[in-house]
């Protein structure tokens, strides 16, 4: 299954949720909070269970978010992909042939304008737009960038998911286990 075929990207914060997802039909899983010492075993366990982990580089405890950290993640940990707000991490991820997901916090018009400039430089494989409950902005970012969009943040209901997907999002990232079960791929 390709990333584009999975409309929900389960995002986990607790290891017990990861164990649940190993039994699910989801292929791609987002790992949000983790300690650097756990990374390798979690990614390897995921691979052994047929899962592809997308690591959120900005949320790994004990890891500085810089070029060296990105190189370490790409070379030593080897997840399916890396999510980050930092352009240098996205570019390093792409250089290493992993899926690069640029996370954008779109708080106001200024943040949106700066994001377009960043995207020109990083050219990620995917963009994660936060908050994911602003359909018209999802549509605008997708049309203007030409890059597939994930919607994340404040997604609480099936209606939120449907509105984001209807606006052009490829998938929705969510830590809401009820939504995982609702879409149970």
pLDDT of 2: 84
Please count the CA atoms within 13 angstroms of the CA of 29 that sit on its side-chain side: 31
Are the C-beta atoms of 43 and 16 separated by less than 8 Å?
no
Token pair of 110 as six digits:
């200024």
**Average pLDDT of the residues of the chain:** 95
Residue 1 lies in a domain: no
pLDDT tens-place string over residues 134-158: 999 999 999 999 999 999 999 999 9
pLDDT of 54: 98
Q: Tell me which residue of 59, 67, 117 sits closest to 91, measured CA to CA.
A: 67
pLDDT of 76: 97
Proportion of the chain above pLDDT 90, given as a percent: 90
CA angle 36, 69, 79 (to 5 degrees): 65
pLDDT tens-place string over residues 9-20: 999 988 889 988
Instruction: Determine the Cα–Cα distance for residues 64 and 185; give it in Å rounded to an integer.
Output: 34
Q: Tell me which residue of 30, 180, 178, 183 sits closest to 99, measured CA to CA.
A: 30
Report helix, strand or coil for 55.
Answer: strand
Give the count of domains, the chain. 1
Place of tokens 């039909």: 25
Instruction: Determine the Cα–Cα distance for residues 132 and 162; give it in Å rounded to an integer.
Output: 11
User: What is the pTM assigned to this prediction?
Assistant: 0.96
Residue 156 lies in a domain: yes
pLDDT tens-place string over residues 89-125: 999 999 999 999 999 999 999 999 999 999 999 999 9
pLDDT of 184: 80
Residue 81 lies in a domain: yes
Query: Between β-strands 99-105 and 126-130, what pairing exists: parallel, antiparallel or unpaired?
Result: parallel
Instruction: Determine the Cα–Cα distance for residues 110 and 21; give it in Å rounded to an integer.
Output: 38
Residues 6+ apart with CB under 8 A from 156: 176
pLDDT of 137: 97
Measured from the Cβ of residue 92, the count of other Cβ atoms closer than 10 Å reads 25
Residue 74 lies in a domain: yes
Q: Is the peptide bond before 23 cis (omega within 30 degrees of 0)?
A: no
Token pair of 163 as six digits:
């509105």
Q: In the structure, what pLDDT confidence band is assigned to residue 185 with cuts at 50, 70 and 90?
A: low
Residue 60 lies in a domain: yes
pLDDT of 65: 85
Domain boundaries, position 121: 7-183
Q: What is the CATH number of the domain that holds 107?
A: 3.20.20.70
pLDDT tens-place string over residues 1-47: 688 889 999 999 888 899 889 999 999 999 998 999 999 999 999 99
Does position 166 have pLDDT exceeding 80, yes or no?
yes
């Amino acid at each position: 299954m390709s990333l584009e075929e999975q409309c929900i990207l389960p995002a986990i914060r607790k290891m017990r949720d990861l164990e649940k997802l190993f039994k699910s039909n989801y292929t791609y899983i987002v790992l949000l909070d983790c300690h650097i010492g756990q990374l390798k075993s979690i990614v390897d366990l995921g691979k052994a269970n047929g899962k592809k982990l997308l690591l959120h580089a900005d949320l790994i405890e004990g890891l500085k978010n810089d070029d060296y950290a990105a190189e370490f993640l790409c070379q030593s940990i080897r997840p399916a992909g890396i999510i980050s707000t930092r352009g240098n991490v996205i570019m390093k991820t792409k250089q290493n042939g992993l899926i690069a997901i640029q996370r954008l916090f779109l708080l106001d018009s200024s943040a949106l304008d700066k994001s377009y400039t960043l995207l020109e430089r990083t050219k990620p494989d995917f963009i994660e737009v936060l908050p994911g409950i602003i359909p018209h902005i999802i549509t605008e970012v997708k049309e203007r960038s030409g890059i597939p969009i994930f919607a994340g943040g404040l997604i609480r209901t099936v209606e939120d998911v449907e509105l984001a997907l209807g606006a052009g999002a490829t998938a929705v990232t969510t830590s809401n286990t009820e939504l995982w079960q609702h879409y149970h791929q």
